Amino acid sequence: MRITRVMSAALLALGLAAGPAAADSSPGPSQEGSAPTEAGTSFRTATEIEQGQQATANGSAGDYLYWSFPADAGQRPTVKATVKLPGTHAAETWRIDVYDGLRRRQACQWGAQTRTAAANAPSVELACVLRTVRAWSEPWANDPLPGTYYIRLTVVDLPTSDLGVRVGAEVRVDSEDMGGAAAVDGRLAEPLVPGAAMNSAADEDESGTSAVLSAIEPEDGWSSGWWSDRWVWTGIGGVLAALAGIAGYALTRGSGRPTRVPPGA
């Protein structure tokens, strides 16, 4: 009974310790007043947004609209965009693309990445669920890695009569923390943040528009894959193995001292 009580107390303590590690660590929504209200027109002028913010922007049909956001190892980002269309328009097709810090286009696991809005439809909604960001990958692979990610929103099929009409856009990024199941044995020396390793000062593009090299990062900094809840579950497994060994020894060692045989028996 004593062994049972000890094991029960140990399991309860381990469960309490593992609880915070298994909790969802995706960032909460930011204050609406701090959300950006404009979008960039290229990778270099992409508007930086935090995960959990709902950014808005106005533009013209036919423009490229760009935003950037940080994603760390173990996160699976979901990008959602809503395009608000004018009251009268022909059928048109919109598309959302996501690129990593090396400007490699990242495939969507699922989601309506391209959608056609019917004539005079008030809006069209797009979504892209990325693959889980890995802490490390082979150089030849196209796996998502920690760093800056770019969102590009544009129309891909538009009648000439609707070219240049005013549209509104809303973009939001949220992430799900995949935990130790997504952990790998390795990490990047630096996250893929363009320009961070060479120069963090402002630069200018060909049009003379000021373009600040990306300096955005997660609220708690870059983890680079050094920690995951896999460490917790590995420790739990070790403790359970030790308790099982103690219990097995107690059950098999016998009832105590050997019985003495009386002299002359």
Instruction: Output b/e per residue, 2-24; b: 16+ Cβ within 10 A.
Output: eeeeeeeeeeeebeeeeeebeee
Give the pLDDT of residue 203: 45
Q: At 45, is the pLDDT very low, low, confident or very high (cuts 50, 70, 90)?
A: very high
Residue 18 has pLDDT above 90, yes or no: no
pLDDT in tens, 87-99: 999 999 999 999 9
How many Å separate Cα 99 from the centre of its chain? 14
In this predicted model, what pLDDT tens digit does every residue of 90-132 receive, in sequence order? 999 999 999 998 899 999 999 999 999 999 999 999 999 999 9
Domain layout of the chain by residue ranges:
26-220
Measured CA to CA, the distance from residue 117 to residue 98 in angstroms comes to: 21
Q: Which has more pLDDT, 227 or 52?
A: 52
> pTM surpassing 0.75?
no
- Identify the pLDDT of residue 254: 62
205-263 residue pLDDT tens? 444 444 445 567 776 667 644 555 666 667 777 888 888 888 887 888 765 555 566 66
CATH classification for the domain delimited by 26-220, as one of 2.60.120, 1.10.150, 3.40.50, 1.10.260 = 2.60.120
